[in-house]
A and B are shown apart, each in its own frame.
Chain A
């Protein structure tokens, strides 16, 4: 007999969403953090918040609009970083504030958004469309990275070095925006707008203290992300707290352990 937690349809959806987000967010984080774009997750999730609020205000709902909005937003952010010659975090901080201001404007003009579940995640808010879209993005991203590992590494290290090794940097920029934007968009409902960044940044930071190669960083970040988010969903069900919050506490605890292990000289 399966425990009750696995029999509830909404929990089955939540576990599937956690599996997808637990893979996608740490996976993209392995490339976002070295590119010094750690705020990209926050900016992307605020694009989602703004698109949800504006959609509610104008009566245009649907996940597709949110997906398109966030992908366009991430792509615009990357182009601005490159075009303006500013640091990534500066541009992203501006875009994050702009998105939050747009959401605030829409809500103050009457948009009805369930802020608690959007900001901090909810087991009940998961939609099947997010799981299916997330699964497709995850398969595409994984296969693409495996087949083009060297080029993806060079693109992550430096777009200049990648360009002079014949990497089509413009194409990679579009794909990077597509995968990152969709990874965030499909994860927001389970993890929450404010806590998406934790799953992008903390696993690769924790793992980066202990490993010396990207292959291991990707493998252990994903394992760490999956375990943390699934445990967060279980805790959320048992303790009736937001899944994003439960996951963040677990992530930070594991990061602290990684820090201690790295100080003791452990390398994998």
Chain B
């Protein structure tokens, strides 16, 4: 029996949007409790597809996706997962919805945070002032924080972030790093972060899974840097620059 339970596991998964054309194939990996992992790869490489498969939005054509040990097709406890989708700005176009209404709607379990608490958690200054504002009128940075607050409002055990640093300035990225580290230590949160901005976030975790229509590399970031794998994944030479924080 494993000492560490798998929060997510992919077993030889293939997913297609168009018959006969795999968006991803031969993907196998697992994520343990309190583990944070990066999904790295080019646009269209399948990062978002893998995250969508974990929340059951796309179904595998082959293989099995398990969440908290259960086949995702039978999984019902969605509050245990927080999901920050990519390009969510378009969801709110033409909709006069306030921050407070959206966060209230996102809270589906009693043990979750109140909207104001969730905003404080993600570092929104003066949360009570922003609750009544329309989501459409927010800056890009605040919009991203609202989505992050919504994905954390039910105190999830697994967090899926799709390009979370888009719209964030350097201060916002540093705050996100601090928050992820704190939630992992305090809640035992596990996370999968699909990003191009791996250098900025590399202090949170060291494990990287690289995908370009399949899982091409699963290991420590230090083994990836300078390896031929990056060239294979992106199709051209890539230099990875580490930042200090």
Q: Which residues of A contact B (CB under 8 A)?
A: 33-34, 36, 149-151, 153-154, 156-158, 160-161, 163-166, 207-208, 211-217
Task: Say whether B96 contacts A214, CB under 8 Å.
Answer: yes
Interface residue? B81 (CB, 8 A): yes
Closest chain A CB from B55 CB (angstroms): 5
- Of residues 60 through 86 on chain B, the ones whose CB sits less than 8 Å from some CB of chain A are 76, 78-79, 81, 83, 85
Given A160-B85, A161-B85, A164-B56: A151 in contact with B96 (beta carbons within 8 A): no
Residue of B55, B101, B104, B137 most packed against chain A (CB within 10 A)? B101
Q: Which residues of B contact A (CB under 8 A)?
A: 52, 55-57, 76, 78-79, 81, 83, 85, 88, 91-98, 100-102, 104-108, 132-134, 137
Task: Say whether A212 contacts B94, CB under 8 Å.
Answer: no
A101 to B52, CA, bound (A): 40
Task: Say whether A164 contacts B57, CB under 8 Å.
Answer: yes
A36 to B91, CA, bound (A): 10
Q: Which residues of B contact A34 (CB under 8 A)?
A: 92-95, 97
A97 to B81, CA, bound (A): 43
Select from chain A the residue with minimum beta-carbon distance to B150. A161
Task: Say whether A213 contacts B81, CB under 8 Å.
Answer: no
Select from chain B the residue with minimum beta-carbon distance to A220. B96
Q: Which residues of B contact A165 (CB under 8 A)?
A: 78-79, 105-106, 108
- Residue from B79, B93, B97, B106 within 8 A of A213 (CB atoms): B97
Task: Say whether B96 contacts A213, CB under 8 Å.
Answer: yes
Name 17 A/B residue pairs within 8 A (Cβ), A-sorted: A34-B97, A150-B107, A151-B105, A153-B101, A154-B105, A157-B92, A160-B85, A161-B83, A161-B106, A163-B57, A164-B83, A166-B108, A212-B98, A212-B134, A213-B101, A213-B132, A215-B101
Task: Say whether B108 contacts A164, CB under 8 Å.
Answer: no
- Residue from A36, A153, A216 within 8 A of B94 (CB atoms): A36
Closest chain B CB from A19 CB (angstroms): 25
Task: Say whether A214 contacts B97, CB under 8 Å.
Answer: yes
Task: Say whether A216 contacts B88, CB under 8 Å.
Answer: no
Closest chain A CB from B125 CB (angstroms): 19
Select from chain A the residue with minimum beta-carbon distance to B133. A212
Task: Say whether A207 contacts B96, CB under 8 Å.
Answer: yes
Given A154-B105, A165-B108, A166-B78: A208 in contact with B56 (beta carbons within 8 A): no
Q: Which residues of A contact B92 (CB under 8 A)?
A: 34, 157
A211 to B98, CA, bound (A): 9
Given A150-B105, A163-B56: A157 in contact with B91 (beta carbons within 8 A): yes
A33 to B95, CA, bound (A): 8
Q: Which residues of B contact A158 (CB under 8 A)?
A: 85, 88, 91
- Residue from A157, A166, A211 within 8 A of B102 (CB atoms): A157
Q: Which residues of B contact A163 (CB under 8 A)?
A: 55-57
A52 to B117, CA, bound (A): 55
Q: Which residues of A contact B105 (CB under 8 A)?
A: 149-151, 153-154, 157, 165
Q: Which residues of A contact B101 (CB under 8 A)?
A: 153, 213-215
A212 to B81, CA, bound (A): 29
- Residue from A153, A160, A164 within 8 A of B97 (CB atoms): A153
The 7 closest A-B pairs by CB, nearest first: A34-B95, A150-B105, A212-B134, A213-B98, A153-B105, A158-B91, A217-B96
Q: Which residues of B contact A214 (CB under 8 A)?
A: 95-98, 101
Closest chain A CB from B157 CB (angstroms): 14
Q: A34-B92, A158-B88, A165-B78 are in contact. List 7 more A-B contacts (CB 8 A).
A: A150-B106, A157-B91, A161-B83, A163-B55, A164-B57, A165-B105, A212-B134
Q: Which residues of B contact A156 (CB under 8 A)?
A: 95
A69 to B137, CA, bound (A): 40
Q: Which residues of A contact B137 (CB under 8 A)?
A: 212
Task: Say whether B96 contacts A157, CB under 8 Å.
Answer: no
Q: Which residues of A contact B79 (CB under 8 A)?
A: 165-166
Given A153-B105, A165-B78, A166-B78: A212 in contact with B96 (beta carbons within 8 A): yes
A36 to B92, CA, bound (A): 10
Closest chain B CB from A62 CB (angstroms): 37
Task: Say whether B96 contacts A208, CB under 8 Å.
Answer: yes
Closest chain A CB from B7 CB (angstroms): 16
Closest chain A CB from B159 CB (angstroms): 12
